Homo-oligomer: A and B are copies of this chain.
Amino acid sequence: MGGFFGAVSRRDCVLDVFFGVDYHSHLGTRRGGMAALSESTGFIREIHNIENSPFRTKFEHVLDEMHGKACIGCISDTDPQPILIRSDLGVYAICVTGIINNADELAAMYLKNSGGHFEAMGGGRVNSTELAAALIDSKDNFADGILYAQEMIEGTASVLILSDDGSIYAARDKMGRLPVVTGRGEDGICVSLESFACTKLGYPELRELGPGEVVRITADDIEVLSPPKEEMRFCAFMWTYYGYPTSSYEGVNVEVMRNRNGEILAQNDRASGSADDVDYVSGVPDSGTPHAIGYSNESKTAFARPFIKYTPTWPRSFMPANQSERNRVAKMKMIPVHELIEGKKLLFVDDSIVRGTQLRETVEFLYENGAEEVHMRSASPPIMYGCKFLNFSRSNSEMELITRRTIIDLEGEEGLKHIDEYSDGNTERGRAMRKAICEKFNFTSLEYQSLDGLIRSIGIDRCKVCTYCWNGKE
C-alpha cells in the first residue's frame, strides 16, 4: 500500500523526513524515495529498492547529500516515487498513495488528447505517479489539477507535491479512505499518513485533513485550497490490521481500538458462555496481539505468548528458488514456546480471516505441539468481497477468500447469491458457514467480531467507515 511524509521548515528538515518516511515502513516493502528542494542545488531525488534491505540502510547515505528546508518522501509498494516533473506548473516532486484502477484508460486518453508523452518504465508501462502528474498538469494550478486527477481516477489517490516555491501541496483521497494529517512544530509544519510520525518528530499540533481536502503548506501556515468533502469511507482495516498501533485516525487510536475490539469479543463469549475455561488468551502476531490483550483484560484470562516471531532479523521473507525450501522459510518466523502450548486450552485472536492458508499452518502446528484446544477469534467479520479501493484484502481474487470457498463447498455457486445472509452470523447460513470453517480448520470454536461490534470498537459514525469487504456496500 505505501505511505508518505513531508515537511517544510525554517531549518533543514531532511532528517525529519528520513525518519518520517521510515515510520511508514510497515506499509510497504518494495521501494522508498525522497526528494528535497535545496536553495543551492534545486531539487534532489533518490529512490531505492527496499526489498532486501530496510529503508534506513538504503537511505542513510542520503543524509550526506540531500539538504533543504522542504522535503517529501514515501514508501511505495507500486512504482518508483517520488518523481520529478517539469511542466507548466513549474518543477515539482510528487508522490501518490493509493491505487489507480483505470490506469490504462487514463494513459490512453491522455496520449490521445494531449500533445504529451510519458517516460516509460521497463516493459513500457507508465509510472502511475507520472500518470497522476500528467492529469494534474492539465489544469492551471495544483489544487484544480489534484481535484481533477482524483475525479478521473477510479480508486484512491492521496497526493503529496513539493513545488519549486518550497511549499508542499497535500491532498487526502476524495473518499477519505486513508488518513492524511498535518503536524505543526516550532520550526515548521509536516504532513504524514501515520499521525504518530508527526508527534514523534516534533510536530505535535495535529490536524487531520478531511476527505478530498487540499492544502498548501509552508513553514508558517496551512492554507486550505479546497475544503473537505462531506462523505467519508475510512478503511476499517487501517484500525484492525494495517495501521501502526501508535497512530490515531479520526481521533481513534489504533491500539485502543484493538484493545476495545478484544474486550467486545470477550463480552460476547462471556454472554454466550463459550471458551470459558481456556488457559491462555493469545494474539496471532503482530496485529492480533492488541486485540488479544483487550480480550485477556476483559475476560481476566491469562495472556500469554505461545508463539513469538523472530524479529531481530529483517522481517521480509527471503525467498529461496527451490519450492521445498520456500515452504520451510514460510514457517521460519513463528517460534513456539512449548511449555505454553502442550496440554493447554488456547484462545487465539487474529485480526481477520482472509484465505486461511497461514492460519491453517498455525493451528496444525499448535495441535502437533500438544495443544488440547484451539479456539479462534477473528477481530473482524467474515471477509466476503475483495477490496477494490485500496487493493489490500491480501487475496489475489475473491475466490481465494475462505468464506466464498466454503460457501461453494456448502451449496455451490448458488450460495454466492446469499452472501448477505452468510455474512450475518445469526442467520442459518451464517451459522453453517462458521461451523464449516471451524471444522475445516479443526478449531475448537470459532467466532467472528460482528460488524456492529467492529463499528463500536472504532467508535465513529458507521457511515464514515468503509465496510465493503464485509457487506459489499460502497
Contacts and interface: CB of A to CB of B under 8 A. Distances in A.
Contact of A86 (B26, B124, B338): B124
Contacts of A53: 53, 57
Interface string A64-90: 000000000000000000011111100
Main SS at interface, chain A: mixed
Given A338-B253, A339-B253, A121 B84 contact: yes
A311 B308 CA distance: 14
A54 interface: yes
A244 interface: yes
A253 B304 CA distance: 13
A468 to B, nearest CB: 27
Contact of A122 (B25, B42, B244, B337): B42
A277 interface: no
Interface stretch (A131-139, A223-231, A417-425): A131-139
A310 B43 contact: no
A86 B120 contact: yes
Contacts of A88: 111-112, 117
Contacts of A10: none
Interface string A165-177: 0000000000000
A290 interface: yes
Contacts of A293: 303-305
Given A244-B335, A246-B336, 16 more contacts: A15-B328, A41-B123, A42-B123, A54-B54, A56-B313, A63-B320, A85-B120, A86-B117, A91-B120, A116-B137, A119-B130, A246-B335, A246-B337, A253-B337, A297-B302, A300-B300
Interface of A: 15, 19, 22-23, 25-26, 41-45, 52-57, 60, 63, 83-88, 91, 107, 111-124, 126, 130, 133-134, 137-138, 164, 196, 199-200, 244-246, 248, 253, 255-256, 259, 290, 293, 296-297, 300, 302-305, 308, 310-315, 318, 320, 325, 328-329, 332, 335-340
